[in-house]
Structure 1
Amino acid sequence: MTKEEIEAKLKAKRISYGMTQQEVADKIGRKQPIVGHWETGYSQPDENTLFILCDLYGTTVDDVFGFKKEHPSLSKRDKEVLKKYNNLDSFGKETIDIALDRETERVTSLKKQKERIEELETTTASTIIDIQPRLENNTRFIEYHHSASAGTGVFILGSEGVDQLPIPDTQENRKVDYAIKVSGNSMEPDYNDGDIVLVSQKVELNHGDVGIFIINNDAYIKEYGETELISRNPDADNIIISEYDNIVCMGKVVGKY
């Protein structure tokens, strides 16, 4: 379609819709001379503006110009946001661009972490990494063990594969040494089956704290009691420690992944 055909169709659609150039300019946030330039061939609207004009005139780009839009129509909300953005000065647009870039990076990082967890949950091979790589400057890796029982006990030391899990490299997370997945329901409602908990071996464990304990080669997540390891689910039994049990504390639970 020639430039003359485009300008003629724009003018004809505006007139048929009963609008003046000034009314069109007010609706789309432009000045009246710009609309006039589009209808005289002095300049042409960009692709997005063509779609907006056709929506305003109650028609489609395909009906007017004989070609189809390659992306979905803008919603009313999208048009309002686009209009507000176009009305900003250069400083305002730069501010919005910075915020969009930052939020896009944040969401992308979270998506990568989620995909990594799903990959770790489905893999059966043991992964050993001697030097911990970083996804981003603000991300570090910790060891990820697949099970600590909130029930019957799961053997983890020596035979279970260890993977790597990314966490934000914050001051709070620097005390985290490894992560482990909860298996069972004896610590509900605080820790549910399938939760991934963060464990520190640098923080002192006191009575009432939750820790990871190895008892006779089985790993448990339990509350540290004076004479027993406590299950927070009232329907589950506590673990009474006898003098014949071999028990080792593997660290304090300091959070969830």
Structure 2
Amino acid sequence: MNELLITRLRNARIENNMKQQDVADILGIKPNTLSNWEKGRTEPDIDTFVKLCDIYQIDCSSLLEDVYAFKRVKSDISLSEYESIKKYRSLDDHGKELVNFTLNKETERIEKYGKLGEVSHPVTSFPMRLISYYFKNASAGTGQLVIDNLPDKDIEIPDKPEYRNVSYAIGVNGSSMEPAFQDGDILLVEATQEIEVGDIGIFQINNECFVKKLGEKELISLNKDYKNIPLDETAATLGKVIGKL
């Protein structure tokens, strides 16, 4: 019996809080017969399959269509990957944007450093350099006083090629940029006013400082629990976020 079909039927029984003995009693079969079906050793005839769907209150036609779709792509993806694709397709545009953002960032990480626990290439040791660190001035929320004082301290960062343009570091205060950036994260920033739509940067509006994604006419929060911030004549760009420690 197809792997997806086995998994769906077994999960449907569990979700209905039924033991194998319960289902076997309804069908008039031995419990080990049902156990063999759920392990893929044997399979029920079509009439029994329909009865199982009735017992579990699942639609036979939809289940079989799903199984057929999985069989068409099974050579390319695993069952868990197929289930993830189905979940992705059910998301709205905001959900898909967050998933795509995370996938892109994780792909970049793997390409640069390899998978966790794997040694895909020799580890390169980089020299360190000092940059200024403002630890509580970039708001991922309702606003923070703009950088107008001396940095709180200096911190060391690796002198990697991708960090060569980093001018300073700044802490994140708030959760409006989740899942990309969390409260307390340390952002590495290039001090520049040249930033493109879609980039994440540090911005000043009305003497408040924000970390946001630049939109056409507004600063965008990745966390939709927070409103976007319209750009006005007071808006200024303080830097482009290069990464985080």
Structure-2-length-normalised TM-score: 0.46
Report the TM-score when normalising by structure 1: 0.44
Which one has more relative contact order, counting CA pairs under 8 Å at least 6 apart?
Answer: 2
